Each structure stands twice: as structure tokens, then as C-alpha cells.
Amino acid sequence: MLGFQLTSAHAPVAHKAAPAGAVPNGVHKRTKVRSKSKKRDKDRAVKFIAETQDAMIQTGPTYKLPGAEKYIKSRMDLPIYQARVKLLLEISKAPTVIVVGETGSGKTTQLSQYIRDAGMDKGKMIACTQPRRVAAVSVANRVALETGCKIGSKVGYTVRFDDTTSRDTALKYMTDGMLLREAISDPKLSRYSVILLDEAHERTLMTDILFGVIKGVQKLRPELKVIIMSATLDAAKFSTYFDDCPVLYVQGRQYPVEILYTIEPQQDYVDSVFVTVLQIHQDEKPGDILVFLTGQEDIENVGALLQDASEKLDPKFGKLVVRPIFAALPPEQQMKVFEPVPKGSRKVVLATNIAETSITINGIRYVVDTGLVKAKTFNPNLSVESLMAQPVSQAQARQRTGRAGREAPGVCYRLFSEDLFRTLDSTTTPEIVRCNLASAVLNMKAMGVDDIIHFDFLDKPTTESLRAALMLIFSLGALDASGKLTTLGRRMARFPIEPQLAKTLISAERLGCVEEILTIVSMLSAPSIFFIPFNKREEVDLSVMKEFASLYGDHLTYLNVYKAYRQNKGNKTWCKDHFINMKSMKTVLDTRGQLAELCRKSNIEIRSSSDTDNIRKALVSGFFYNIAVLQDDGTYHPVSNRTEVALHPQSVLKGQKPKYVLYHELVKTKRYYLRVATVIEPEWAAEAAPTYFARTIT
Ligand code: CDP
Ligand code: MG
């Protein structure tokens, strides 16, 4: 059992207190708007307020379409509603503003609608970027409901491999990565009059690059409105970066949240979560529970345990309804977290850090925080990027805690000790300084940013990681000796996939195996193809994998899985018997379709080859950096560095131990593992990668 200790704090979440100098209507203004002509501003403001008040105060937001009325009340109840006129006024005056408001205040769903309703979109599109796909999809769906339209008409979303926008779309929710891709073909982003960069506090790689790109676009198009939205108060840095632009604070509501720490550190957080949730369910007042876990695997494990326990519970406690949410979950299932559960039962939302700020679920009174998050770290010297569970920052822990106090006082159960909390970093490190930049650098080059090292970054990545990225794309043949994008590089940048995968796909044309590589690339881009319940690992390893296993390794095994899946027409029972994750396979089909379409547009001929040598050669052309050689002591050494690594326990090659293997990625868990490996011939590497050593360029 867990022992919980009340902190001395017992405190409401202190950082939520409203900043001083509140002005009416819920907006706090901290930075003065710098204006050239006060008089002109004032006149404009008076006129603007009059118009806006006409449009919005008297009639409320415009609810023209049937179906939208039922959301009027909940929209008007949001904290941001009180602030709308002032917000619009400030936005009308300055080219860039920063809007800070705590999660759930209505920034993402409302502000873009206010802007459109006030006619500030001037007939062009409004874009609102999200770091996460799930958030873009769920928010767009919500806004479509509130507007009374079908998703894909007035309101749409664009995420990688899934675009629901149409000619009618006026309001577009999209991932930050997709807007960056659009900047490649349209460097002035001329389809947009307003761009909202949301969740700026998360400081994802793509959002960080967008800051610089959009700042550049504004120089060319001063009329472009940019709104930076953030859930944390430290907006000064953004303001300085955007020429001291105004920062507007939306006053939120926050009830006190009691924080409980565990007395002892926890050994097994899956078990701790399980116990804590049951404790809450049996002992605490009604109210839903939100649990922060690290990823799909944990979520499924905890979900299965809780489901099982719920069925055995004494009926007097009511049912526990488990609702997962993570990036790989299909949209219709994601939407289920927002649905109310039957009276008498209690909802448990099992989430990744997606629920930290990017989505808000009503009804949450209890938060269970494992204190962990899956985050990327990149070692440019070893060229290793790993996605690993690691401790959150104090800022993240506070943000998670706050989720329990949106509608009423709540409780947050931290599954770690108070001493540990004190050792956490105070804020989260921006992704740009801790991840692999190859893809980002290729995109920037394709946008015409020639001098990457001197790009106007909000936080500059280390020179080593920029160099490592430039070196990699240069070796792939995407850059010439002067650092300019080559024809090959331009073709590679058209594909929204890692540069190595794009190179593989393009090389496959010459080798006549684009069909096969399309499949392999799509399988690699999808989350966990196998859904293996944690108590069945051994059984699956022994039996099922054999059916698909290829002597050549995991890439070709993936190809076999896909072929078998197609032969069985994606049959549900077949998938279940073979532990195939149907959801992931659906994603594979979508991805494959879209990549094939891009191949056609790029005039890449899609042919099929049964020659496994060709398929493996194509892989080598993209992944020659990722070759490892077997050592006498039975370990492997990657050729690009001298780390000791091993084949992943789930690799079909692990019993075979071939001399030379190509791997998709190095992952670090307890040690370094080569994940998804294939046997290769060493001379293919020399043939494929003349630029790895010499400066010969296409
Ligand atoms: O962006 P911010 O965190 O300030 O708030 P928001 O995402 O606009 O959410 C405002 C309200 O809309 C919250 O009360 C959410 O519960 C609700 N919402 C929803 O019901 N379904 C969604 N898919 C998204 C938001
Ligand atoms: Mg938001």
C-alpha cells in the first residue's frame, strides 16, 4: 500500500494567483503597447470597440449554424469570454501579441473564433498550431461542434498524413510541423491572415523554428497577425524576442488543490498508479481521476489492471470507466475522454503529458502524477536520439497539479517524495537543445534558410548538434559542398518523414522496389505494430513472430506482416490472434497511401521487386550511418561511434547475430539497443555512401 503524506503546503497552487494590476474584463496587461500615434490608436480603438461590441457583446458570438446554440452557454462561461473585447482590441493594434491564460481558460477553442467572428481574418485563413496531433484533431472537432459545422468545412485540421481541410476552411487547426512544411512551398504563408502559435510554453522543436520563420515572414508581410499563446506566466522571453510585443493575461479560475506526496519513493509506478486509483475510488468523494503516465504501453497496462479490478469491485463503489488518451489513439477513441460516464460511476483518464496543457477534460477532481514524461534526448557525438521516460520539471508537475482544481477544489497525488520534487529542474528544457535536428535543418534549407548557424533562434541549439545535423544531410547527398540544397535534397524535403527514410524511398526507385520500401517506411512511421499484452510477451516471441520472421531481419519481417495483413484483409480475429495492433495498421495504410501519392507527384515510379538484396540496398542508401559490426565479445559497435550496443530483445535477429547489421534507431533503456535491424553486406555501404567520406555530390 502507498503511504501518503500531507505536505506542509496543503497549498492551493500558488503560481496560479492572478498577477497584480488587474484590469476589468479579465485581461491583465503588463507590457504597454508602443504606439506611434496615440490619437489615431484611440480613434481606431473606439471604432473597433463599437463594432465589436455590436457584433459580440449584444448578440454574443455569432452562432449562425444550427447545432451551435447548445454550446453558447458553455462558451460564455469560459474565463476568456469576459476578456474577448479587450483581447481583440489589443490584437487589432499590434502585429504580434502574447496571450497567457491557464489551461482550460478557452484560448485554443475560442480566440480563433472571436477573431473570425470579428472579421479580422479579412477573408484569408486563420491557422492555429498545436505541438500535438491529438490536440489539433480534438480541438478542431470541438470547434466544429461549437460552430455547428462538419469537420472539414469551415473548420478543419491538418496533421501529418491526415488533412481534413477543404476550400471552405476558414479556421485551420494544424500541427506546428505542418505549418512549417507549408512554409516550404509558400514562404510567405500567404494563405493566412492570422497565425496563432499555441502552447508556446511547451517549446517544441517545430514551434521554436516557427517563431523564427514567422518573425521573418512578418518582415515581408507586416499585415500578418501573430498571436503567441502560452499557459505559463513567464512570457517575458517571448515578448523580448518579438520586439517587446504586448503580453495579455487572461484571468483564469483556480481552486485550491491539496498536494500529497508518497512517503517512500515508488519502485513500480504502474502498480502505484493502480493502487492509488483504487484508493481514491473507494475512499474519496465523487469526481473523475486524471492519471499522468509516460506512453501507450503504461497506459494499456494500467488500463487492463483497472478494468479487471473494476469488474471485481463491490457494486456499492460504482464502476470505474477507463478512458485512455495518447498520440497514437485514433481520433474517435480520443474523443471518448470528453464524454460523461453513467451516473454512479467514475471516469479514470489515463493520459500522457498531452493532458498537461493541450487538452482539458471537464470533471477532473483528482490527479495522479507519476512525475515522469517521455522526452527526447540527443547526443550529437554518438548521434543517438533516445525517447525515454524521465522526471518532469517542477513547472510541469505544478501544471499537472492544477488540472485537479479547474471546477472545484481537488487533490493531487504525486507518486514521488517531496524531497525528490525539490531535486527536479525548475523549468523544462526546450526541445531544440535536446533533440536530433536533421529533419528540421533539411526543412529550413528547403525554406531557403541558408545560414542555419546564424538563424534567429529563440534559444540556440548547440553548435555540435547543428553540425551533426548538417553533416548527416550532407552525407545523404541533400546538400552540396557549399551547403546549398541539391536536387536530391529538394526531393527529400517533399516527404514529411525523416531525411534517412526519404533518401531510402528515393533510392528505391533506382532499385525498382518502391512498393516494398513504401510499406517498410510506413510500418516504421506507425506506433507499435504489435499489441502485446505484458503477460503474453514470451508466448508472442516464441510463436507468432516466427510466422512472419525473415532471415534478413526486422525490416523484411515488417514487410511480411503487412503482406499477411493485406492477404487476410485486415480481419479482426486474425489481427487479434497474431497480436497485430489494428489501429496501428490502419495508420500504416493511411500513411502508405499518402506517401504513394507524394511519390506520384514527385514522378517516382512505383514498382515492386521480390529481390531482397535491392530492398536492403535501398535501406543502406539512407541508413549507412546506422551500421553496426559484431565484435568478438558478442556485442555490436556502430561504425559512427564506439558505443557498446546490443540487438533489441524483440529483434528477429537476436539469436542469429550477423556480422553486419543496419538498424533503424539506437534506443537507450537500461543499455543501448539497436531497434529494427537487418543483415547487410559491407560493400553496399561503401557503394551507397561515397559522400560519407568524400565530397562527391550529385
Ligand atoms: O486552450 P485553453 O487551454 O485555454 O482552453 P481550451 O482548450 O480552449 O478549452 C476550453 C474549454 O473547452 C474547456 O473547458 C474544455 O473542456 C472544452 N473542450 C472540450 O470540451 N472538448 C475539446 N475537445 C476541447 C475543449
Ligand atoms: Mg489550449
**Ligand 1, closest atom to CA 229?**
1
Average pLDDT over residues 448-472: 91
Q: How far is the CA of 324 from the centre of ligand 1 (A)?
A: 18
Ligand 1 close to Cβ of residue 338 (< 6 A): yes
Query: Cα separation of 28 and 79, whole Å?
Result: 13
Ligand 1 close to Cβ of residue 101 (< 6 A): yes
Helix (H, G, I), strand (E, B) or coil at 361: coil
Split at pLDDT 50, 70, 90, the class of 24 is very low
Determine which helix (DSSP H) or strand (DSSP E) holds 668, and give its type and residue range: strand 660-668
Ligand 1 close to Cβ of residue 652 (< 6 A): no
Q: Which residues contact 369 (CB under 8 A, 6 or more apart)?
A: 291, 292, 392, 397, 400, 401, 412, 413, 414, 415
Q: How far is the CA of 328 from the centre of ligand 1 (A)?
A: 20
* HSE toward the beta carbon, residue 65, CA cutoff 13 A: 15
- Report how far apart, in Å, the C-alpha atoms of 544 and of each of 154, 466, 532, 657, 664 are: 46, 42, 11, 20, 22
Average pLDDT over residues 241-251: 93
Cα angle at 467 between 466 and 470, to 5 degrees?
Answer: 90
Query: Cα separation of 152 and 397, whole Å?
Result: 36
Pocket test for ligand 1, best of 232, 253, 360 (most atoms within 8 A of CB): 360
Within 10 Å of residue 310's Cβ, how many Cβ atoms?
20
Q: What is the pLDDT of residue 43?
A: 55
Q: Which residues contact 166 (CB under 8 A, 6 or more apart)?
A: 152, 153, 156
Q: How far is the CA of 109 from the centre of ligand 1 (A)?
A: 6
**Ligand 1, closest atom to CA 138?**
23
Burial of 451 (0-12, 13-18, 19+ CB in 10 A): exposed
Considering the chain, what percentage of its residues have pLDDT values greater than 70? 86
Ligand 1 close to Cβ of residue 399 (< 6 A): no
Digit-coded pLDDT (tens) for 308-341: 999 988 888 899 999 999 877 776 788 899 999 9
Ligand 1 close to Cβ of residue 109 (< 6 A): yes
pLDDT at 14 > cutoff 80: no
Q: How far is the CA of 146 from the centre of ligand 1 (A)?
A: 11
Alpha helix positions (H), 526-571: 537-539, 545-548, 554-567
Q: pTM, whole model, 2 decimals?
A: 0.81
- Report how far apart, in Å, the C-alpha atoms of 173 and of each of 37, 142, 449 are: 35, 11, 25
CB–CB of 485/473 below 8 Å? Answer: no
Angle between helices 438-446 and 499-511 (to 10 degrees): 70
In terms of Cα–Cα distance, which of 620, 530, 651, 517 is closest to 581? 530
**Ligand 1, closest atom to CA 406?**
14
Ligand 1 close to Cβ of residue 75 (< 6 A): no
Ligand 1 close to Cβ of residue 138 (< 6 A): yes
pLDDT at 488 > cutoff 50: yes
User: Which of 15-29, 113-127, 187-201, 468-482 bottoms out in mean pLDDT, i.e. has the lowest?
Assistant: 15-29
Considering the chain, what percentage of its residues have pLDDT values greater than 90? 60
Q: What is the pLDDT of residue 698?
A: 27
Average pLDDT over residues 481-485: 93
In terms of Cα–Cα distance, which of 408, 634, 621, 440 is closest to 514? 621
Digit-coded pLDDT (tens) for 400-442: 999 999 889 999 999 999 999 999 998 888 999 888 899 999 9
Q: Is beta strand 171-175 parallel, antiparallel or unpaired with respect to 155-159?
A: parallel
Ligand 1 close to Cβ of residue 489 (< 6 A): no
Query: Cα separation of 243 and 12, whole Å?
Result: 35
Q: What is the pLDDT of residue 335?
A: 82
Ligand 1 close to Cβ of residue 362 (< 6 A): yes
Q: Is beta strand 225-230 parallel, antiparallel or unpaired with respect to 192-197?
A: parallel
Average pLDDT over residues 342-349: 94
In terms of Cα–Cα distance, which of 384, 284, 330 is closest to 641? 384
The residue nearest atom 17 of ligand 1, judged by CA position, is 360
* HSE toward the beta carbon, residue 351, CA cutoff 13 A: 29
Ligand 1 close to Cβ of residue 479 (< 6 A): no
Ligand 1 close to Cβ of residue 103 (< 6 A): yes
**What is the number of the ligand closest to the CA of 100?**
1
Instruction: Locate 18 and state its grid cell.
Output: 492572478
Within 10 Å of residue 408's Cβ, how many Cβ atoms?
13
Ligand 1 close to Cβ of residue 106 (< 6 A): yes
Determine which helix (DSSP H) or strand (DSSP E) holds 273, and give its type and residue range: helix 269-283
Alpha-carbon torsion, ordered 275, 277, 279, 284, to 10 deg? 170
CB–CB of 585/531 below 8 Å? Answer: no
**What is the number of the ligand closest to the CA of 105?**
1
Average pLDDT over residues 609-635: 94
Which amino acid appears at position 255 of this protein? Y
Digit-coded pLDDT (tens) for 254-312: 889 999 999 888 888 999 999 999 999 999 999 999 999 998 888 999 999 999 999 98
Q: How far is the CA of 360 from the centre of ligand 1 (A)?
A: 5
Split at pLDDT 50, 70, 90, the class of 538 is low
In terms of Cα–Cα distance, which of 416, 420, 408, 419 is closest to 284? 408
Digit-coded pLDDT (tens) for 489-529: 999 999 999 999 999 999 999 999 999 999 999 999 887 78
Ligand 1 close to Cβ of residue 156 (< 6 A): no
CB–CB of 325/359 below 8 Å? Answer: yes
Split at pLDDT 50, 70, 90, the class of 616 is very high
Ligand 1 close to Cβ of residue 161 (< 6 A): no
Q: What is the pLDDT of residue 67?
A: 76
**Ligand 1, closest atom to CA 80?**
4
CB–CB of 103/231 below 8 Å? Answer: yes
Instruction: Locate 94 and state its grid cell.
Output: 499590434
> φ, ψ for residue 185 (rounded to 5)?
-85, -20
Q: How far is the CA of 401 from the centre of ligand 1 (A)?
A: 17
Query: Cα separation of 137 and 73, whole Å?
Result: 23
Angle between helices 582-601 and 554-567 (to 10 degrees): 100
**Domains of the chain listed by start with CATH number:** 36-250 (3.40.50.300), 257-432 (3.40.50.300), 494-688 (no CATH)
Q: How far is the CA of 421 from the centre of ligand 1 (A)?
A: 29
Instruction: Locate 625 and state its grid cell.
Output: 550511418
Q: How far is the CA of 175 from the centre of ligand 1 (A)?
A: 17
Q: Please list the helix, strand and coil fractions of the chain in percent, rounded to the nearest 5, in that order.
A: 45, 20, 35
CB–CB of 292/48 below 8 Å? Answer: no
Burial 650-686 (b: 16+ CB within 10 A, else e): bbbbeeeebebbbbbbbbbeeebbbbbbbbbeeebbe
pLDDT at 62 > cutoff 80: no
pLDDT at 34 > cutoff 80: no
